[in-house]
Amino acid sequence: MTLADPDNFGLQCQGVSHWFGENKVLFDLNLEVQAGQFVGLVGPSGCGKSTLLRAILGTHPPLKGRILTMQNGRLANADRPGRDRGIVYQKYSLYPFLTALDNVALGLKLDQTTTAFRWLNWTGWAKKRREFRDRAGAFLEKVGLGQAMHLYPSQMSGGMQQRVAIAQALIMEPEIILLDEPFGALDEATREELQEMLLRLYEENAEVKAAGGKPPYTLIIVTHELNEAIRVGDRLVGLSQYWDWKADGHERSPGATVVYDKAVPVFRPDERPEYALFDDIRREIRKYVYNPEVLQQRDKHINVGPTR
């Protein structure tokens, strides 16, 4: 299967570079993601992971290069945000003035009705709103938040908030969902529960794929916990400014790029991985991605192309 097959296409970054004045952040970044893949994205703090996600999201397109995603069933440039790419932040994903239910229903409302419709056609809007709320409610039930529907974010625990935030993004059925350190503020036990929630989506993918359909969930999760990236992802991508750019003819660092890209084991949601077994993966990552002293050719540790 190749990326050219629309049923397999998740994301393609072609030669993406980005900088803020003198601060070179991303350099010639190439990344292809197949539909259904769960990518764990790691890298030193400040290397540009959030910048990359914002570029894919389309709120801050890259200064150079192209990012292609599926939009309304067609391949298109991701130069503006849309409902086909969802995001979950560590904070501020939920609107404090909306209940869990209305936070989840918000996307349906914004995407499927216009301001003019809501302001002028009151009865039509009331009917639509009931329908959206019903759908959002059913969705929340599904992710185990039936009890919390009418709570405001400030009344929910951090774990519940992130669960609602994931539901808020998922109900739009995005082609790809981006998570930027989503569980960074949670305690270990809650983290694991939420990882399980993501792994259940991966399982759903497998079922759909087995039945010959296009897997519904494609995901990139940025995290600073290597174990989390290994557990949730089926693929581990390292972004780093520490690579041998001198050999490529640069006088000073041109920015971070993909320096590590390998498949990692897949886990069932109820499976507690034996993290000790991944010592070698972690050691590799620490050495080639995180260590400023170790500068290797940038394609030396790239073992998965999606088009392999």
Residues that bind another protein (CB under 8 A): 54, 57, 59, 80-83, 85-87, 89, 91-93, 95-98, 106-107, 110-112, 115, 152, 154-155, 168-169, 172
Instruction: Kindly write out the interface string for residues 42-61 of this chain, putting x where it contacts ligand ADP by CB under 6 A and - elsewhere.
Output: -x-xxxxxxx----------
d(CA 203, CA 209): 10
* Count of other CB atoms within 10 angstroms of residue 157: 13
Closest distance to ligand ADP from the beta carbon of 147 (Å): 34
Residue 92 within binding range of ligand ADP, rule CB under 6 A? no
| Binding partner selected for residue 23 from Mg ion, another protein, ligand ADP, none, CB under the kind-specific 5 to 8 Å limit | ligand ADP
What is the pairing mode between strands 74-77 and 85-88? unpaired
Closest distance to Mg ion from the beta carbon of 89 (Å): 9
CB-wise, 47 or 140, nearer to ligand ADP? 47
Residue 215 within binding range of ligand ADP, rule CB under 6 A? no
Closest distance to another protein from the beta carbon of 48 (Å): 17
Closest distance to Mg ion from the beta carbon of 303 (Å): 25
Six-digit token string for 116: 């003019």
State the residue for tokens 């764990």.
Answer: 40
* Count of other CB atoms within 10 angstroms of residue 10: 23
CB neighbour list of residue 271: distance below 8 Å, 6 or more residues apart = none
Six-digit token string for 264: 């990692």
Closest-CA residue to 218 (of 262, 169, 268, 281): 169
State the residue for tokens 């949670």.
Answer: 186
d(CA 255, CA 98): 40
d(CA 110, CA 122): 16
CB-wise, 46 or 144, nearer to ligand ADP? 46
Closest distance to ligand ADP from the beta carbon of 53 (Å): 8
Residue 14 within binding range of Mg ion, rule CB under 5 A? no
Coil, strand, or helix at residue 205?
A: helix
- Site size toward ligand ADP (CB under 6 A) is 11
Residue ranges binding ligand ADP (CB under 6 A): 20, 23, 25, 43, 45-51
Residue ranges binding Mg ion (CB under 5 A): 50
